[in-house]
Amino acid sequence: QNSQMLGPVSFQVCPWPRDRSTPSLQSAPSTQLPSRESTPPPTPRIGDIWKLARDPHGCRFVQDAFDNACSEAERLAFASEMHGHVWAAIQCPYANYVIQKCIGTMKAHNVTFVIDEITRRGPAATCKAARNQYGCRILQRLLEQCLPQHLEGLVDGLLSDALRLSMHIYGNYTMRHIMEYGQATHRHRLVLLLQEYILELGTDEKGGAVVAKALLHASPSDQCMLASAVLARPGLLATMSCMRHGHFASEAVLRIACSTGDCGDFEQACLQLAEGSVRLEGSRFGRSVLSVLRQLQSASTSSALRTFEL
């Protein structure tokens, strides 16, 4: 008696719980999303998706509906109710999960409405979304799942303020994703900016994370260029080596200098780390960098590289 046909899609509809123990849609928002195992998630009714998406319990129901949908057409029916609400979802602690689920479960060409609604307001608004704690998550999912031709305008907008975003508490995550998932041309543009402002970015906790991603995912020539930029700033390598994210960048610089076979770069890296060895030994991140350096020295077939012991 509880099943019915809704629109063009057929699926089972579970009645909304009537007991007083189940929070209503008007209940105060929770700071923590409820467990998926707390209540069997009913299939949401068509027409209620946006309303449920903004509720701490309802957003779980909608996410499960996307996961369990039997066809792309069914997901399209759910997603159609999110059209026109992307910016509101970016600012909502619950609805942002539904947009992320749309992106993660649907075909790439069916989620271009999310990109369109973000970019329609211009580059400044796109960068604002990257600086939002929920918006940055949506942008990361888009970079992971969508086709390069769909993301061209979005990434161009983000790169217009790449320096500030790279050092922002939330924006840096989007910049890291551009380095990992972006087109080669976009990655190269970002590397050029990182090279120009390497001192500011390398000594910044968030910026160091973006530099580390670049040293891992940029083209080999761009990696060498960025590693040389780090070594060209006296003391920068040692400073980065004592930082939470920066030490990953320092380790990458050492591996790049060693793999290129350029003894001059490797010698320079060793000398810089030797000068800051006391500080590095007192930091768990610094000790990790020194450990990598010793491994590279012991594994190297070049006697020249083994010469520079700390």
**Mean pLDDT across the stretch 220-235?**
95
Range 14-27 average pLDDT: 42
Residue holding tokens 């499960």? 64
* β-sheet bridge partners, residue 10: 5
In this prediction, residue 24 has a pLDDT band, given cuts at 50, 70 and 90, of very low
Provide mean pLDDT across the span 239-245: 96
Region 116-126 average pLDDT: 97
pLDDT of residue 5: 40
Q: Does the structure show a pLDDT above 70 at 108?
A: yes
- Choose between 246 and 27: higher pLDDT: 246
pLDDT at 162: 98
Whether the pLDDT of residue 199 is over 50: the answer is yes
Contact 235, 278 (CB under 8 A): no
CA distance 64 to 36: 9
Query: Rounded mean pLDDT of 95-114?
Result: 97
Identify the H or E element spanning 9: strand 9-12
Q: Tell me the pLDDT band of 260, cut-offs 50, 70 and 90.
A: confident
Instruction: Over range 51-78, report the average pLDDT.
Output: 94
At 9 the pLDDT is 43
Nearest 10 degrees: Cα torsion 225, 183, 167, 153: 140
Task: Please classify residue 115 by burial: count the beta carbons closer than 10 Å to its beta carbon, then call 0-12 exposed, 13-18 middle and 19+ buried.
Answer: buried
Strand partners, 5: 10
C-alpha span between 191 and 12 (Å, rounded): 51
CB 123 within 8 A of CB 89: no
Reference 59, options 28, 25, 15; nearest CA is 25
Which phi and psi (to 5°) does residue 4 adopt? -155, 165
pLDDT score of 3: 44
CA atoms within 13 Å, Cβ hemisphere of 91: 6
Q: Average pLDDT, stretch 120-127? A: 97
Which of these ranges, 42-46, 159-163, 171-175, has the smallest mean pLDDT? 42-46
Note if the pTM is more than 0.85: no
Burial level of 193, CB count in 10 A (0-12/13-18/19+)? middle
Write the DSSP symbol of residue 195: H
Percentage of residues in the chain with pLDDT exceeding 70?
82
Residue 117: pLDDT over 70: yes
Contact present, 252 and 237 (Cβ < 8 Å): no
More confident residue, 91 or 300: 91
What mean pLDDT comes out for the span 195-218?
Answer: 97
For 163-176, the pLDDT digits (tens) are 999 999 999 999 99
Q: CA–CA separation, 308 vs 266, rounded Å?
A: 9
Q: Tokens representing 219?
A: 């083209």
Is the pLDDT score of 230 beyond 50?
Answer: yes
Torsion, CA 182, CA 183, CA 189, CA 195, rounded to 10: 60
Tell me, what's the pLDDT at 259?
86
Provide the CB-side half-sphere exposure for 14 (13 A, CA): 12
